[in-house]
Structure 1
Amino acid sequence: MKRPATSSAAWVIAALALGLTLGVLGHGAAWGERAQAIMAPIGQLWVNALRMTVIPLIVPLLVVAIAGSGDLKQTGALSLRMLLLFMGLLAAFTLASFAVSPALMSAVRLDPAATSALMAQAAQPPPAAPVTPSEWLVSLVPANAFKAAADGALLPLLVFTVAFALATTNAPPATRSKVVEAFRAVAEVMIILVRWVVALAPIGVLALSFALGVSLGAAGAGAVGYFLAVSIGLYLLGTLLLYPLAVFGGRVGWRRFAVAMLPVQAVGLSSRSSLASLPALIKAGRDDLRLRPEVADLVLPVAVSTFKLQHAIATILGVAFVARLYGLELTPLAIAASAGAGILIGATTPGVPSAGLMLQAPLYSAFGLPLEGLALLIAIDSIPDMFKTLFNVTADMVVAVLLSPQGTAEAGDVTVN
């Protein structure tokens, strides 16, 4: 089952490398401009294919995630503590990312004329006029939910979808079941369509990376390399920062926690899937860390399905990088809003490679960021995605340990070793 995903990632990386190389060689050359005129429509077709799938996928996934969570309501205090931990960790890492990511991306130095030319080629409407905080707050409640969907206004659409899903949870059981099953069916069909679009990624990525290389030259390739290095570094740092939480909050020894996590992290790095890591997580939690069974059986499956801590870093970092790449300036309010929406979207991400990034297409449109930039992030995602999964599965186990501290401490186990 892993070969197709691995093969697809290899093709995308190869297409990215080839496109950037040819684009850099054609930078400033007449043949490069002629080739770019041919490649641009191809890249735009793939970007449009991404856009057409996102709204019909986000809405049913979010409804199913909220309205279909009836089992969680029956677990009482444990579920509440779990959700509070999810929100607390997401808030803490989002604030940290908000503090450092824009500053790190400001180190990317590109020729303003080149970024303007790249922006001019993007099939993206100009950014909306700045609004006051009160105007922005009012705009979150859509007067017409269907118009918000048609306009790609993600934040108002998310507000309506969450309200609709919460209303569904209060409907009679028979009605709620019908609504959830209908939206689940739509989501399953849309996931099939998304997989088709993902299969065409090498062609779209080749065209988009070629345009980037022609417009920015070697500086564009350097910017991509810098983004990769910063991304991997932040995910590794975030993973390390989780260890003290398990040690001091869950009263488990350093060595014991690290050894228990090694096989889980190995599966996460190789599969790029939190869901694929679930069997290893449950085994490590039950056998090595001695979590209470009710914690291991509830928290770990829910965490791998809905708790994507990497979005606290990835959304802000990606938005800041694309804005820098295209010479755009985003307000702190816009960056904060993108972080909140990215986290909410992350809780509904399906098991499709780079789906978390694909679902952010309306978010980028809402802030006037070219979707071509998002497509480039998707192209290079297979590399940092390994470290995103490492970060996610470590966070999943940390939450379980914090919810079962008395189950993780053996007699004679030293907390710090």
Structure 2
Amino acid sequence: MQKALFILAALIIGLICGMLLPGGSDGVIKGAEFVGALWLNGLRMTIIPLVVSLLIVGIVQTAVMAKAGRMTFRAIATMIAILWASAAMAALFTPALLALFPLPADAAAALQSALSTAQEPGPVPSILEFFRDIVPANPVAAAANDAILPLIIFTLAFAFAVTRLPEKKRSTIADFFAAISEAMLILVQWVLALAPVGVFALALVVGARAGAQSFVGLAHYVLIVVAVGTVIYLASFLLALLGAKRSPLAFFRASIPAQAVAISTQSSLASLPAMVQGVKAMGVGERSADVVLPISVALFRATGPCMNLAVAIYVAHLMGIEITTSAMIAGIVAAAITTMGAVSLPGSVSFITSIAPINIAMGLPVEPLVLLLAIEAFPDIMRTLANVTMDMAVTGTVARFEGDLAEGETS
């Protein structure tokens, strides 16, 4: 949280300093652009190896857990279904929300001008080309060319193939990629240690070119993304009603302690003890509470697909880029799959490693994510709140179907 506050402070100070720059400061702006681009390149170089290694480790771990028993398999299947539904919901709800409440025209024009140096969006294939190219002829070339979706498909297939190996060989490959992901995370932490410098430099450029409109854009972004996350929060009450047969009021009372911890810590792991007590208050048995909830915290992040895809869609809205059908499909697939490999990461790391692949898959620039990273502390409150609440709803639902839920209030 302290690191997030430093990055947020760098953003605000950079924007203000940019707004206060006198005329004829082109040299300062170009210098800031150079520093910001250098830092962003350092961050981008970690994305492909980190996403691939995390996805392989995540799939292998998920497959091993799914073999542990019927309850575990049912829990994981439920979570995967929710992840895909979450991504699909964002693809429908976010554009509709932006159509009703668009970014003010003045702010949009100012920010597009300020971000005019962002990398041009990649080519977006037609529907036929999309499905033809989704299986890469050369996965190494796909990685080199930032063809992220074909690379994800290959990685997914490779990870499932690894799960069919004998235990010793499977463990060897999983340990190898786990070591790569750990090394890459160390490298990412080094790059993020310089985040205040990189964010300050890029914010100074935006502040100089967009002025006060930059604050309008950032505030609008927070409201839109939080609204998308709120849908998942409300959906957890619906799941509790239909799946666990608990009324919204009863479910809310049981989840209040966990929600309070989630808001104050922004950590699902820190909320786990309160979640355990909450589901037991709902009537969930020891077996489900001790099995399903830890799996949820380890593998499941319900808001990941919807809020990550919402960020990518917002970038397109911000930059005035039209999202084609094939690009949206690519975003849904990337959002649903990459979430499975990023659950255990710190928020600032998962923001880049989860959303940058979605942007690349959709042919959108990555540069605006740096400014949005700086204010992620605000949407992250809703992320954690909705994730914790959905974890409890899933646990109650699985417990009911496993016969491990006591009779309780249903209306």
* Structures share fold, TM-score greater than 0.5: yes
1:260: which partner in 2?
A: 254
Q: 1:157 to 1:282 in 2, by over 3 A?
A: same
1:294: which partner in 2?
A: 287
Taking only aligned residues, the RMSD between alpha carbons, in angstroms, comes to 2.1
Shift of 1:115: 5.0
1:133: which partner in 2?
A: 127
Shift of 1:113: 6.0
Deviates most, 397-406 or 236-245: 236-245
Deviates most, 385-394 or 314-323: 314-323
Counterpart secondary structure, 1:347: helix
Deviations 1:103-150 (A, max 9, x none): 33341134576455334312x2x3333422121112111111111112
2:303: which partner in 1?
A: 310
Distance 1:75 1:18 in 2: 51
2:357: which partner in 1?
A: 362
Q: 1:105 to 1:208 in 2, by over 3 A?
A: farther
Residue 148, structure 1, aligned to residue 151, structure 2 = no
- Equivalences for residues 314-325 of structure 1 within 5 A: 314-325=307-318
Distance 2:295 2:77 in 1: 13
Shift of 1:397: 0.7
2:384: which partner in 1?
A: 389
For structure 1, the residue ranges without an aligned partner over 5 or more in a row are 1-5
- Equivalent residue in structure 1 for 2:329, among 327, 331, 336: 336
Shift of 1:285: 2.2
Distance 2:189 2:131 in 1: 35
Shift of 1:44: 0.8
Shift of 1:248: 3.5
1:207: which partner in 2?
A: 201
Shift of 1:13: 1.1
- Equivalences for residues 18-417 of structure 1 within 5 A: 18-26=13-21, 30-69=23-62, 71-106=64-99, 107-110=102-105, 114=110, 117-122=113-118, 124=119, 126-286=120-280, 288-349=281-342, 350-359=344-353, 360-405=355-400, 406-410=403-407, 413-416=408-411
Distance 2:148 2:187 in 1: 20
For structure 2, the residue ranges without an aligned partner over 5 or more in a row are none
Shift of 1:371: 1.9
Identity fraction in percent: 35
Distance 1:366 1:238 in 2: 24
Q: 1:18 to 1:45 in 2, by over 3 A?
A: same
Deviations 1:45-101 (A, max 9, x none): 121111111111111111111223454233343233223322332333333322221
Q: 1:9 to 1:326 in 2, by over 3 A?
A: same
Deviations 1:340-376 (A, max 9, x none): 2022111111322222221132332343322221111
Letter paired with 2:256: L
Counterpart secondary structure, 1:329: coil
Shift of 1:396: 0.7
Distance 1:61 1:206 in 2: 29
1:3: which partner in 2?
A: none
Counterpart secondary structure, 1:30: coil
**Would the aligned equivalents of 1:119 and 1:370 in 2 still touch at CA under 8 Å?**
no
Q: 1:242 to 1:70 in 2, by over 3 A?
A: closer
Distance 1:296 1:182 in 2: 32
**Would the aligned equivalents of 1:94 and 1:313 in 2 still touch at CA under 8 Å?**
yes
Shift of 1:31: 4.2
Q: 1:339 to 1:315 in 2, by over 3 A?
A: farther
Residue 17, structure 1, aligned to residue 16, structure 2 = no
Q: Could you state the TM-score of these two structures normalised by the residue count of structure 1?
A: 0.90
Distance 1:92 1:66 in 2: 19
**Would the aligned equivalents of 2:36 and 2:199 in 1 still touch at CA under 8 Å?**
yes
Distance 2:221 2:210 in 1: 15
Q: 1:115 to 1:285 in 2, by over 3 A?
A: closer
Q: Could you state the TM-score of these two structures normalised by the residue count of structure 2?
A: 0.91
Letter paired with 1:60: S
**Would the aligned equivalents of 1:153 and 1:362 in 2 still touch at CA under 8 Å?**
no
Counterpart secondary structure, 1:148: helix
Shift of 1:185: 1.2
Shift of 1:251: 1.7
Q: 1:321 to 1:261 in 2, by over 3 A?
A: same
Letter paired with 2:117: Q
Deviates most, 276-285 or 299-308: 276-285
Distance 1:357 1:57 in 2: 13
Shift of 1:403: 0.9
Letter paired with 1:289: M
Counterpart secondary structure, 2:279: helix
Distance 1:10 1:373 in 2: 19
Shift of 1:19: 1.6
Shift of 1:299: 1.5
**Would the aligned equivalents of 1:24 and 1:217 in 2 still touch at CA under 8 Å?**
yes
Distance 1:99 1:93 in 2: 10
Aligned residues: 404
